[in-house]
Structure 1
Amino acid sequence: MPDHTDELDALLGLIGRRLRATRVAQGLNLEQLACLTGISAPALSLIETAKRDARVTTLARIARALRVPLADLLEDRTSRPGEAGGSNGQGYDLGDYR
């Protein structure tokens, strides 16, 4: 049976980098995303740095909070013309968390 550890590590790294890039592009810090997802900031940091393997349900919660399709975190969609991703233009309500 082939060892796919390197392949899986690379995938985790890509997902983490996409997650961080999306979060930063939307002007959110880890604490704010933690408030929106109910996932602790340290746990989010571990996912972004590929030190924690996130479950699909966790990634779905993060994608929902970032208002992007889950697929945007899982696959490279930047090279597909005509597909829109990202925010739908609505703001964030973090008032309860300040």
Structure 2
Amino acid sequence: MKASVRSNWKTAILVCRKCSKKVDGGFGPKGNQPLGKALKKHLSLKKGRKGDAGILDVGCLGICPKGAVTVVNGAASRDWLLVKPGADLDALAAELGLVETGA
């Protein structure tokens, strides 16, 4: 049995699957994708452990906002985000620390 497995992730982003179903998509270029899938495609992340970050759809996080999706950055887990459909994915990725911000 292996004691540990290595990944290239700098952080894990948790996206509430229940919230994503309630807002019925609303993200991506056509506005018809769930947030997790749209963010993965937008950032062109590699699949699995080889990516720079992991974007995981998880069960209910217990916030249940109306008309938004709950998102948690595992590296900064004190601040949770409530993301409304149609949100700018570039701004969201920057807020989650998934892209380098120009100085």
Q: What is the TM-score with the length of structure 1 in the denominator? A: 0.30
- Write 1 or 2 for the structure with the bigger share of strand: 2
- Write 1 or 2 for the structure with the bigger share of helix: 1
Q: What is the TM-score with the length of structure 2 in the denominator? A: 0.29
Q: Which has the higher contact order (CA 8 A, sep 6+)?
A: 2
